[in-house]
Structure 1
Amino acid sequence: MLEDLARRQQAEIDGLEEAARAEGFALLRTLRGLALAPAPRGEPLTPQAFAALSKEEQEGIEARGSALEARRDATLRHLRQLERETRLAHEKLVSEVAAAAIRPLTRELRERFQDLAAVERYLDQVEEDLIAHAGEFRQIEEEKSPLPFLPPPGAFLDRYRVNVLVDRSSTRGAPVVVEQNPTHSRLLGRIEHRVHFGTLVTDFTLIKAGALHLANGGYLILEAKDVLRSFLGWEALKQALKGRAIRIEEPLEELRLISAVSLAPEPIPLSVKVVLIGSPLLYHLLYALDEDFREPFKVKVDFDDSLPRTAEVELLYARFVGGACREEGLRPFSPDGVARLIEHGSRVVAHQGRLTSRLGELLDLVREAAFWAERHQHPLVTAEDVRHAVTQKTYRANLPEERVGRMLAEGTLLIATDGEALGQVNGISVLASGDHAFGRPLRITARTFAGEPGVVDIEREAKLGGPIHSKGVLILTGFLAGRYARESPLALSASIAFEQQYEEVEGDSASSAELYALLSSLSGIPLSQGLAVTGSVNQRGEIQPVGGINEKIEGFFDVCRARGLPGRQGVLNPEANARHLMLRDDVVEAAREGRFQIHALSTVDEGIALLSGREAGERGPDGRFPEGSFNASVERALAENVARLKALRGEPPALPHDDRPHVPHPCSKG
Structure 2
Amino acid sequence: MTNNISSTTSNDVANKPELVADNLQPLIKQQCTSDFAPLIAAYKKTQEPELLTLFPEAVAIIDHYLKLPTSLLLINSRHWQSAQKLLQQIMPEPSNSAYLLSYDKESLFGRISEAQNHTLSIQEGELIKRNDGVLTLNISPLLVDPSLWFSLKSLLQRGYLQASDLVNAEKIKIALPNLSSCFINTKIILVASRMQLEELIQIDPEYTQVSSLFCELPSQVHVSQSNINALINYCHKQCQELNIKPLDEQALLALFNHLSMQCQHQQQLLFSPEFIEQMLQYANLYTENNEVSDNDLLCYFDEIDKAQSLAKKYSEQSILEGQINLQLSGEKIGQINGLSVVELLGYPCEFGEIFRISASDMIGDGEIIDVERKVELAGNIHAKSTLIVQGYLNHFFSHIAAFPYSCNLVFEQSYQESDGDSASLAILIAVISCYSQSPVQQNVFVTGSLDQHGNVLPIGGINQKIESVTRLFELGLLSDPVKVLMPSANILNLTLNQATLALIETGKIVVYPIAHCHQAFPILLGKSFKQVITTINARIEETNKDEADDSDFNLLSRLKNALFS
Is the TM-score greater than 0.5? Answer: yes
Match of residue 480 from structure 2:
567
Match of residue 183 from structure 1:
104
1:99-127 Cα offsets, whole Å, 9 max, x none, are xxxxxxxxxxxxxxxxxxxxxxxxxxxxx
Q: Aligned-pair distance for 1:638?
A: 3.9
Q: How does 1:554-593 map to 2 (within 5 A)?
A: 554-593=467-506
Q: 1:651 and 1:515, CA in 2 relative to 1: closer, same or farther beyond 3 A?
A: farther
Match of residue 198 from structure 2:
284
Q: Report the 3-state secondary structure (helix = DSSP H, G, I; strand = E; otherwise coil) of the residue aligned with 2:523.
A: helix
State how far apart, in whole Å, the 2-side matches of 1:644 and 1:539 are.
Answer: 33
The residue identity in structure 1 corresponding to 2:277 is L
Q: Report the 3-state secondary structure (helix = DSSP H, G, I; strand = E; otherwise coil) of the residue aligned with 1:418.
A: coil
- TM-score norm. by structure 2 comes to 0.76
Q: Which runs of 5+ in 1 are unaligned?
A: 1-170, 619-628, 653-670
State how far apart, in whole Å, the 2-side matches of 1:447 and 1:308 are.
Answer: 47
Q: How does 1:206-605 map to 2 (within 5 A)?
A: 206-249=121-164, 256=171, 264=177, 266-267=179-180, 268-287=182-201, 290-296=204-210, 298-372=212-286, 374=287, 377=288, 380-433=291-344, 434-452=347-365, 454-605=367-518
1:119-165 Cα offsets, whole Å, 9 max, x none, are xxxxxxxxxxxxxxxxxxxxxxxxxxxxxxxxxxxxxxxxxxxxxxx
Q: 1:649 and 1:308, CA in 2 relative to 1: closer, same or farther beyond 3 A?
A: farther
Report if the CA contact (8 A) 1:182-1:230 is conserved. Answer: no
Number of residue pairs aligned between Structure 1 and Structure 2: 460
Is 1:634 the equivalent of 2:546? no
Report if the CA contact (8 A) 1:244-1:271 is conserved. Answer: yes
Q: Aligned-pair distance for 1:566?
A: 3.0
1:216-239 Cα offsets, whole Å, 9 max, x none, are 223221122222212332121111
Q: 1:508 and 1:481, CA in 2 relative to 1: closer, same or farther beyond 3 A?
A: same
Q: Which runs of 5+ in 2 are unaligned?
A: 1-91, 555-565
Q: Aligned-pair distance for 1:650?
A: 7.8
Which range moves more in the overlay, 452-461 or 259-268?
259-268
Q: Aligned-pair distance for 1:284?
A: 3.0
State how far apart, in whole Å, the 2-side matches of 1:640 and 1:246 are.
Answer: 87
State how far apart, in whole Å, the 1-side matches of 2:150 and 2:552 are.
Answer: 77
State how far apart, in whole Å, the 1-side matches of 2:337 and 2:382 are.
Answer: 17
Report if the CA contact (8 A) 2:112-2:169 is conserved. Answer: no
Report if the CA contact (8 A) 1:492-1:641 is conserved. Answer: no
State how far apart, in whole Å, the 2-side matches of 1:217 and 1:325 are.
Answer: 35
State how far apart, in whole Å, the 2-side matches of 1:485 and 1:611 are.
Answer: 25
Q: Aligned-pair distance for 1:247?
A: 2.6
The residue identity in structure 2 corresponding to 1:293 is Y
Q: 1:514 and 1:209, CA in 2 relative to 1: closer, same or farther beyond 3 A?
A: same
Q: Report the 3-state secondary structure (helix = DSSP H, G, I; strand = E; otherwise coil) of the residue aligned with 1:497.
A: strand
1:388-416 Cα offsets, whole Å, 9 max, x none, are 11111111111111111111111111122
Q: Report the 3-state secondary structure (helix = DSSP H, G, I; strand = E; otherwise coil) of the residue aligned with 1:330.
A: coil
Q: Which has the larger radius of gyration?
A: 1
Bigger relative CO (Cα 8 Å, ≥ 6 apart): 2
Q: Aligned-pair distance for 1:646?
A: 6.5
Q: 1:637 and 1:278, CA in 2 relative to 1: closer, same or farther beyond 3 A?
A: farther
Q: Report the 3-state secondary structure (helix = DSSP H, G, I; strand = E; otherwise coil) of the residue aligned with 1:302.
A: strand
Q: 1:221 and 1:640, CA in 2 relative to 1: closer, same or farther beyond 3 A?
A: farther
Q: Percent identity among equivalent residues? A: 23
Match of residue 12 from structure 2:
none
State how far apart, in whole Å, the 2-side matches of 1:570 and 1:539 are.
Answer: 25
Q: 1:222 and 1:637, CA in 2 relative to 1: closer, same or farther beyond 3 A?
A: farther
Q: 1:527 and 1:254, CA in 2 relative to 1: closer, same or farther beyond 3 A?
A: same
RMSD: 2.6
- TM-score norm. by structure 1 comes to 0.64
Q: Report the 3-state secondary structure (helix = DSSP H, G, I; strand = E; otherwise coil) of the residue aligned with 2:350.
A: strand
Q: Aligned-pair distance for 1:249?
A: 3.5
Q: 1:313 and 1:459, CA in 2 relative to 1: closer, same or farther beyond 3 A?
A: same
State how far apart, in whole Å, the 2-side matches of 1:438 and 1:172 are.
Answer: 46
Q: 1:450 and 1:247, CA in 2 relative to 1: closer, same or farther beyond 3 A?
A: same
State how far apart, in whole Å, the 1-side matches of 2:97 and 2:427 are.
Answer: 56
Is 1:608 the equivalent of 2:529? no
The residue identity in structure 1 corresponding to 2:303 is Q
1:469-506 Cα offsets, whole Å, 9 max, x none, are 00000001111112233444433311111111111111
Q: 1:633 and 1:244, CA in 2 relative to 1: closer, same or farther beyond 3 A?
A: same
Q: Aligned-pair distance for 1:552?
A: 0.6
State how far apart, in whole Å, the 1-side matches of 2:509 and 2:187 are.
Answer: 56
Q: Aligned-pair distance for 1:253?
A: 5.4
The residue identity in structure 2 corresponding to 1:181 is S
State how far apart, in whole Å, the 2-side matches of 1:221 and 1:638 are.
Answer: 70
The residue identity in structure 2 corresponding to 1:389 is Y
State how far apart, in whole Å, the 1-side matches of 2:318 and 2:245 are.
Answer: 42
Which range moves more in the overlay, 434-443 or 172-181?
172-181
Q: 1:226 and 1:250, CA in 2 relative to 1: closer, same or farther beyond 3 A?
A: closer
State how far apart, in whole Å, the 2-side matches of 1:252 and 1:190 are.
Answer: 5
1:561-598 Cα offsets, whole Å, 9 max, x none, are 31254333232111110010000001001110111221
Q: 1:648 and 1:289, CA in 2 relative to 1: closer, same or farther beyond 3 A?
A: farther
The residue identity in structure 2 corresponding to 1:327 is E
State how far apart, in whole Å, the 1-side matches of 2:293 and 2:497 are.
Answer: 17
State how far apart, in whole Å, the 1-side matches of 2:277 and 2:540 are.
Answer: 59
